[in-house]
Amino acid sequence: MADPLKRRDEEMAALEEVFRYAERYLGALAESPVLPGGATHLGTSLPEGGNGAVAALTELIASAGAATRSSGPRFFHFVTGGTTPAALGADWLTSLLDQNSFSWVSSPLGSELEDVAIRWLLELFDLPESWGGVLTTGATMANFVGLGAGRRWWAQEHGVDVDEQGFAGLPAVPVLSTPYIHASALKALTMLGIGRGSVQIAEADELARNLEALGGAPAIMIGNAGEVNAGYFDPISPLADLAEEHGAWLHVDGAFGLFARLAPETFELSAGVERARSVIADGHKWLNVPYDCGFAFVRDRSALPKTFGLAAAYLPDDERPNYGYSSPEASRRARALAVWATLRAYGRAGYREMVERHLALAQRLGRRVEAEAQLELLAPVGLNIVCFRFRPPGFDEPALDLLNSALGEDVLADGRVFVGTTRYDNKVAFRPAIVNWRTTERDVDLLVDVVLELGARRAAAVD
């Protein structure tokens, strides 16, 4: 019996299965190994006869134990937020209501909440309330939105509507940034037809020279508010000065760094962001809403419908802005429910407190690293990322790189804490990022203990 209509009596029972599992899962999340392993039994070929919702969910839940505990407090890899109780509940509700946040006709609720969410987020980040914005799947697509608006502006400076006519007859788009540029901005440039190879990378204080070399031609400049190795910021105010002086479009990637604006002690790092033309951040990082969620903000709110508008006889022509006409997607999940709920539940003060706790945890981690003879802090801790390596005596630089790479794999396989490695200052290094609302001092201390324990074992094995 396969037709869902014939199995509709299972609806509540299926949800109850998930609810019961949630109780077990969340109850154990704080102490679970990040990589529990465990077998999955999900089959290899498409079943001809279905087994119904309850049985299917029971099977799925039996394999869900294998899920990475990436929403738990010890997942320091990448920049990975958890999900607050309010956001998780709202996300479940989002699936229940299954709204298409494409337009006011398809979802007045989703559209209104997105209006409110964008307004609240602008306020949270202390950005001008006159700006527009849109929710996206993440920072990559938010970069795509901001840079798409920039591309439109750039072509208009050449007298061309690029969204209407394409690039034919236009020169290459000059894009300037610093070594902090994130791979996702390059990806966005690729998707926009600008090409990742078009970016001129220079240190921030050398960008003036690059702009002057353009002889007044319009350009796009990408400022980076929070890079992934050590949480560093480009000096955004001087970049804004340059953009104003040379008439460039300044786009700022603040995927997680924009949250520096929530804490008085780090606000200054992002000073000048409010002078950019487009600014982006992620929701599934420091806001702690579930995957997937990001935001793009633009100074000129009319830029979004001009870039991402669409029209057809059967589609609504609404006075109020339809978000499906301001974003890369047309049909869209109502991400605003989770954003709204978490901001409603914890408010500006709750988020400030969480960010300040994370800043303090990063400082604590930095101090512990400095206090341990076998660890080396590689960069001052300015935000929420701590860049360090294991450095026992008797290893030269190439050997230290090999040791830290192998140790990185050991740490991931061990799974008590989860932290990735990078290359920083030409050295293999750990770069734990703290953005999960559940993370406490115990979790951060465990990270150091695990690295030291496994490091000693690995160093002994190599010796």
Closest distance to ligand PLP from the beta carbon of 230 (Å) = 12
Closest distance to ligand PLP from the beta carbon of 334 (Å) = 18
Nearest CB to ligand PLP, comparing residues 280 and 354: 280
Cα(315)–Cα(99) distance, rounded to whole angstroms? Answer: 17
The contacts of residue 437 (CB under 8 Å, 6+ apart) are 81, 82, 84, 288, 354
Q: Counting contacts by CB under 6 A, is residue 228 touching ligand PLP?
A: yes
Cα(275)–Cα(230) distance, rounded to whole angstroms? Answer: 24
CA distances from 409 to 124, 406, 412, 416, 451 (A): 38, 5, 5, 13, 11
Among the listed ranges 35-43, 51-59, 93-101, 136-144, the one in contact with ligand PLP (CB under 6 A) is 136-144
Q: Counting contacts by CB under 6 A, is residue 78 touching ligand PLP?
A: yes
Judged by CB under 6 A, the number of residues near ligand PLP is 14
Cα(371)–Cα(379) distance, rounded to whole angstroms? Answer: 15
Nearest CB to ligand PLP, comparing residues 78 and 395: 78
Closest distance to ligand PLP from the beta carbon of 281 (Å) = 9
Q: Counting contacts by CB under 6 A, is residue 79 touching ligand PLP?
A: yes
Cα(329)–Cα(64) distance, rounded to whole angstroms? Answer: 29
Closest distance to ligand PLP from the beta carbon of 218 (Å) = 24
- Binding marks (x or -) toward ligand PLP, 93..132, rule CB under 6 A? ----------------------------------------
Cα(460)–Cα(374) distance, rounded to whole angstroms? Answer: 13
- Pick the binder of ligand PLP from 234, 282, 401, 443 (CB under 6 A): 282
To the nearest 10°, report the CA torsion of 243, 246, 248, 250. Answer: -10
> Which tokens is 297 given?
């903000």
- Pick the binder of ligand PLP from 69, 74, 152, 182 (CB under 6 A): 182
The contacts of residue 328 (CB under 8 Å, 6+ apart) are 136, 141, 144, 145, 148, 308
- Pick the binder of ligand PLP from 35, 139, 258, 334 (CB under 6 A): 139
Among the listed ranges 14-22, 114-122, 133-141, 354-362, the one in contact with ligand PLP (CB under 6 A) is 133-141
- Binding marks (x or -) toward ligand PLP, 327..366, rule CB under 6 A? ----------------------------------------
Cα(400)–Cα(396) distance, rounded to whole angstroms? Answer: 6
Cα(66)–Cα(39) distance, rounded to whole angstroms? Answer: 7
What DSSP line would sit under 220-288, residue for residue? EEEEEBS-TTT--B--HHHHHHHHHHHTPEEEEE-TTGGGGGGSHHHHGGGTTGGGSSEEEEESSSTT-
Q: Give the nearest residue (CB) to ligand PLP.
A: 138
DSSP code of residue 294:
E
Give the containing element (helix H, strand E) for 390: strand 388-390
DSSP code of residue 322:
P
Nearest CB to ligand PLP, comparing residues 139 and 379: 139
Q: Counting contacts by CB under 6 A, is residue 91 touching ligand PLP?
A: no
Nearest CB to ligand PLP, comparing residues 139 and 354: 139
Q: Counting contacts by CB under 6 A, is residue 401 touching ligand PLP?
A: no
- Pick the binder of ligand PLP from 52, 146, 148, 294 (CB under 6 A): 294
- Binding marks (x or -) toward ligand PLP, 230..269, rule CB under 6 A? -----------------------x-xx-------------
Q: How many other CB atoms sit within 10 Å of the CB of residue 236?
A: 26
Closest distance to ligand PLP from the beta carbon of 387 (Å) = 14
Using CB under 6 A, list all residues that contact ligand PLP: 78-79, 138-140, 182, 184, 226, 228, 253, 255-256, 282, 294
